[in-house]
Structure 1
Amino acid sequence: MKKYTIQKSPFVVPTTDGKLIEEHFGNATDGNSQISIAHMVAPSKWSEPFQKPEFDEYTYIIKGKKQFIIDGETVILKTGESIKIEKNTRVQYSNPFDEPCEYLAVCLPAFSIDLVNREEN
């Protein structure tokens, strides 16, 4: 019995905002509710509503820049930088810049729409 799993066909989450989300491990891909790992590309001028997730989220920027508004403080990460945002923190993710932002996101426990707690626009 193999003690590893190679993911060659991540689950591509359907979106309506132009953002690419490829979940490699997590609820949608393999039913793992403990952790999710996703590769994402946020297009230029993309943003999400504020949210207060019930999971820790780690983000590593592969290419470009990404903006975070965390409890009212604006933080901008660039290529090669990373951040951990603790669960139950009010945050907004966006890419107000002129180039796409490619990044990895890791959520503990795994991302679930039921745990993200997005605010209404």
Structure 2
Amino acid sequence: MRKKYTIQNNPFVVPTNDGKVIKEHFGLATDGNSQISIAHMKAPSGWSEPFQTPEFDEFTFIIKGKKQFIIEDETIVLEAGQSIKIEKNTRVQYSNPFNEPCEYIAICTPAFSIDLVNREPNE
């Protein structure tokens, strides 16, 4: 009989060059699921990404530290225990300008794909 659950003990570690640790537990890179991706992230102090306008909804839950979001023209800071949903086709920038690492869970629907993130060039 086929098991009706999957335990993920070996997430896909996404290669990065900015000190951020991304471990995708479910999603395109791990199990080919295009509907949802779930990743455990650790963003070092001083980390930031360019603005992007993703073609997916992104939910973020902060485990430790703080994370800054610039959504359209509004700056929001979330702390441990808080969460946010950012709707697809919203211009956003993610960063950690604080003096401690930030650990969080990111869930994207449909799944995160570099082809859907629409990052802007660095200025």
- The interval holding the TM-score normalised by the smaller chain is over 0.9
- When normalised by structure 2's length, the TM-score is 0.98
**Residue in 2 aligned with 1:51?**
52
Computed over aligned residues only, the root mean square deviation of the Cα atoms, in angstroms, reads: 0.2
- Cα deviation 1:35-73 (Å, max 9, x = unaligned): 000000000000000000000000000000000000010
SS in 1 for 2:94: strand
- When normalised by structure 1's length, the TM-score is 1.00
Give the Cα separation in 1 of the matches to 2:97 and 2:16: 18
**Residue in 2 aligned with 1:98?**
99
Give the Cα separation in 2 of the matches to 1:88 and 1:2: 37
Give the Cα separation in 1 of the matches to 2:79 and 2:41: 15
Q: Percent identity?
A: 80
Give the Cα separation in 1 of the matches to 2:44 and 2:32: 28
- Cα deviation 1:5-60 (Å, max 9, x = unaligned): 00000000000000000000000000000000000000000000000000000000
**Residue in 2 aligned with 1:3?**
4
Which aligned pairs between 1:20-99 and structure 2 lie closer than 5 A? 20-99=21-100
Matched length = 121
Give the Cα separation in 1 of the matches to 2:52 and 2:73: 12
- Off by >2 Å, runs of 4+ in structure 1: none
Q: Structure 1: where are the runs of 5+ without partners?
A: none
Give the Cα separation in 1 of the matches to 2:106 and 2:121: 23
Q: Structure 2: where are the runs of 5+ without partners?
A: none
Give the Cα separation in 2 of the matches to 1:94 and 1:9: 27
